[in-house]
Structure 1
Amino acid sequence: MRHQPAALVGIVTERQEAQKALEETRARFIQAQKMEAIGQLTGGVAHDFNNLLAVVLGNLSLARKRLPPDGKLRQLIENSIQAAERGATLTKRMLAFARRQELTRGPIDVPELVRGMAELLQRSISSNIPVSTQFPLQLPLAFADASQLELALLNLTVNARDAMPDGGMITIAAREQRIGGGEVASLAPGSYVCLSVTDTGTGMSEETLAKATEPFFTTKGIGKGTGLGLSMIHGFAEQSGGRLVLKSALGRGTTAELWLPAAEGDLLRGAGQAPAPDLPVLNPLTVLVVDDDPLVLMNTGAMLEDLGHKVLEATSGEQALRVLRRNEAIDLVVTDQMMPGMTGAQLIDAIRTEHTELPVILASGYAELPEEKLTGIVRLGKPFEQADLARACEKCAGGSAGRALPSKARLIPFRLLKAQRNHRPDAAFLL
Structure 2
Amino acid sequence: MASENPTVLFQARPPEGLSSTSPSLCEGRETWPLVHALAATLNEPDILPALTEVLGTHLVAGACLLLCHYPDAELTYTCWRQGVAPASYQVGVAESGSTLNWQRQAALELIQQTIDQAAGKARLFWQKGLAGLLRSEAGPPAWLRNIAHCTAIAVDGAGFQGAMLLLGARGITVESTVQANLASLGAIAFHQHYLQGQAQRHTEQLRYLNYLKEDFLSTLNHELRTPLTSMMLAIRMLRRPDLTPERSAMYLDILEQQCTREINLVNDLLMLQTLEAKAPAEVRQSTDLGQLLTDLANQCQEQFHQAQLTLALQLPSQPVWLVTDPERLTKVLNELVSNARKYSTPKTGVTFTLANNQGQGGRVTLQVSNLGAAIEAGDLPHIFDKFRRGPNATKNGIAGTGTGLALARGLVEQLGGTIKVSSQPSDDQLWQTCFTLEFERHDKSSHNL
Q: Fold-level match, TM-score > 0.5? A: no
RCO higher in 1 or 2 (8 Å CA, sep ≥ 6)?
A: 1
TM bracket, shorter-chain basis: 0.3 to 0.5
What's the TM-score, normalizing by structure 2? 0.37
Asked which structure has the greater CA Rg, the reply is: 2
